[in-house]
Amino acid sequence: MQRGSVLALKWTLAVLTIAASALLSELDARADSCTSPDLIETMPPLGAMDVPTNAILFARYASIAQYQSEPVELEQVGVATSTVPATFDDTSGLLQIVPPNGLVAGASYVVHWPALRGLDTATLGSTFDLNFTAGSAVDVVAPTFAGIASMSWDVSRDSDSCTNSVEQRYVFSLALAPAADDGGRDSLTLLVFQTSGPALEGGTPAQALVERIPPTGQSAQVATTIGSGVGHICFTAIVRDLTLKTSPSGPPVCVDTVAPPFFYGCGVLTGRRARGGFGVALGVAVLGLAARARRRSRGRSTPAGQGLGGR
């Protein structure tokens, strides 16, 4: 092989390798601890303005959290603090309170969310003080949302600090259609349901994700076990406002996943995710180019008459 051709091939391989590395990079995900019942997020978010006066207030805790009637205090800044009855949904980790007489328009508030205990652990989470300001209006209209715009998938193969083992999971990245609400987009809760897959019983949709809606332009991430994420997988989604009104759901969005492993044996994907579609194809192309280059190099350096057939 000519020196110029060798250099060109090396540059091509370098560019493709960098591109593959970028495509196979880790996805950002909201933390959900398996060892501490942490408070993960609130609806409305910290520092929210113009919160509807008829809002219900939520805090989402890690999946191992247990609510044991810990008091939740609602403070109207400069006026009074009172303990408010709370309800807890242990399937979604949502603790919620309803301000007894609604919120006072223009007033500043602090919710003193409690530290919860965790299932099968003595670890106690931390408290959190949520500051927000009430607006001047009530939320009267259901949110608008067209559902999931598109979806891609990866396979994660990461070390799990909770089990001290390497875990493989499908990670579905859901690009969301625009969402809006008269109570403010940032206070919406996203609910994702899986509508097709091997783990569903009798075809009944299963709740796959509950979280505050990601910022505009960011995708939501749903992780499943390998057994429940292989094959024809479909999701649909709705959003819910602070008064529990929900949007219509868009049509289900589906992908067909491929069972791993891909090319873990090469050591490229340890601690990373193998992307479905173009990412896998690009990785295979990189390996194929390298193999072809080696074959060409061997072929051109072998004396005439001493190829495989002449040995």
The total of other beta-carbon atoms located within 10 Å of residue 195's CB is 19
At 108-167, the pLDDT tens digits run 999 999 999 998 777 789 999 999 999 999 999 999 999 999 999 999 877 666 666 678
Please tell me whether residues 124 and 151 are part of one structural domain.
no
Please indicate, yes or no, if residue 7 is contained in any of the structural domains. Answer: no
For the chain, the domain total comes to 2
At 6-22, the pLDDT tens digits run 444 444 334 333 333 33
CA 153 and chain centroid, separation: 11
Q: Is 189 helix (H, G, I), strand (E, B) or coil?
A: strand
- Residue 205: which CATH number? 2.60.40.10
At 28-79, the pLDDT tens digits run 333 455 668 999 999 999 999 999 999 999 999 998 999 999 999 999 999 9
- pLDDT category at 284 given cuts 50, 70, 90 is very low
Q: Is 98 helix (H, G, I), strand (E, B) or coil?
A: coil
Please indicate, yes or no, if residue 272 is contained in any of the structural domains. Answer: no
Please tell me whether residues 198 and 239 are part of one structural domain.
yes
Please tell me whether residues 177 and 86 are part of one structural domain.
no
Torsion angle, CA of 197/66/122/131, rounded to 10 degrees? Answer: 110
Please tell me whether residues 130 and 91 are part of one structural domain.
yes
- How far apart CA 101 and CA 54 sit, in angstroms, is 9
Residues across the chain: 311
Find the helix or strand (DSSP H, E) in which 179 lies: strand 179-180
- Per-residue pLDDT for 296 more than 70? no
- Per-residue pLDDT for 268 more than 80? no
pTM: 0.73
Please indicate, yes or no, if residue 247 is contained in any of the structural domains. Answer: yes
The domain in which residue 79 lies consists of: 39-134
Please tell me whether residues 150 and 250 are part of one structural domain.
yes
Q: What's the angle, vertex CA 273, arms to CA 268 and CA 275, rounded to 5?
A: 100
Please tell me whether residues 181 and 96 are part of one structural domain.
no
Give 1's strand partners: none
Please indicate, yes or no, if residue 300 is contained in any of the structural domains. Answer: no
Give 273's strand partners: 156
Please indicate, yes or no, if residue 78 is contained in any of the structural domains. Answer: yes
Q: Please say which residue of 134, 157, 192 terminates a domain.
A: 134
Q: What is the DSSP letter of 16?
A: H
- How far apart CA 198 and CA 154 sit, in angstroms, is 18
